Structure 1
Amino acid sequence: MSERVFVCRCEDVTASELEHAFAAGLSTIEEIKRYTGFGTGPCQGKECMAALARELINRGLSTPTQLRPFTARPPAEPVSFGALAAAPDPFVDPAPSLPQADPLGDPQEPPSP
């Protein structure tokens, strides 16, 4: 396989890195994910897992019935909508808008509500 063929575009995992994983004896989707970072990007494997599954089957390392998807791991603890609604909005300035001085010396009017 070519070294610059990307099999996981989100995490820039190349075919060469997959070859190293197979040479190291890794034979499951979860093992390869942990070894290479495969499928840990924004798509969470939705774009690349099928290619890896097909490669595992073609190499005789797995069968379609043995394959298991990535273990789901949320990036953080769940937060309830109530907790989010009760939290102050850090982007809202509680101070009223005051006229700002223009660098050229012309005062600007505050935006109308």
Structure 2
Amino acid sequence: MTREDEKTIACRCEDISVQEIKDAIHEGYADLQSLKRYAKFGLGPCQGKTCILLAAQILARETGRTLDQIMTPTTRPPLDPVPIGFFVKGKEADDEK
């Protein structure tokens, strides 16, 4: 048995357990991108920095593939959180020109 059990939290931001990820895999979500969209891990403040690798490891183990065979999900900018005020200030600066 692995170090985690069914109640182990895989995604702390979204409170997704290892068992929820396994259940989604057994429902047919067998690639990391669709698994992420269905199970909703990696969508919190850390944007998957702490849970994507764990989910990929679970996916590889449950499907009998290697990590090299598991494609990583598409990362969409911004990679780091940006305060909404940044965008407002940017527009105001453009209007003043």
- TM-score for the superposition, normalised by structure 1: 0.59
**Structure 2 stretches lacking a partner, 5+ long:** 79-85
- Within a 5 Å distance, the mapping from 1:52-91 to structure 2 comes to 52-74=55-77, 83-84=90-91, 86=93
Alignment partner, residue 48 of structure 1: 51
Paired residue secondary structure (1:53): helix
Q: Give the Cα separation in 1 of the matches to 2:64 and 2:40.
A: 19
Structure of greater relative contact order (alpha carbons < 8 Å, 6+ residues apart): 2
- TM-score for the superposition, normalised by structure 2: 0.67
Which protein has the bigger helix share? 2
Count of residues in Structure 1 that have an aligned counterpart in Structure 2:
84
Q: Is the 8 A contact 2:9 2:17 kept in 1?
A: yes
**Structure 1 stretches lacking a partner, 5+ long:** 89-113
Deviation, 1:64, is 2.6
The 4+ residue runs of structure 1 with deviation greater than 4 A are: none
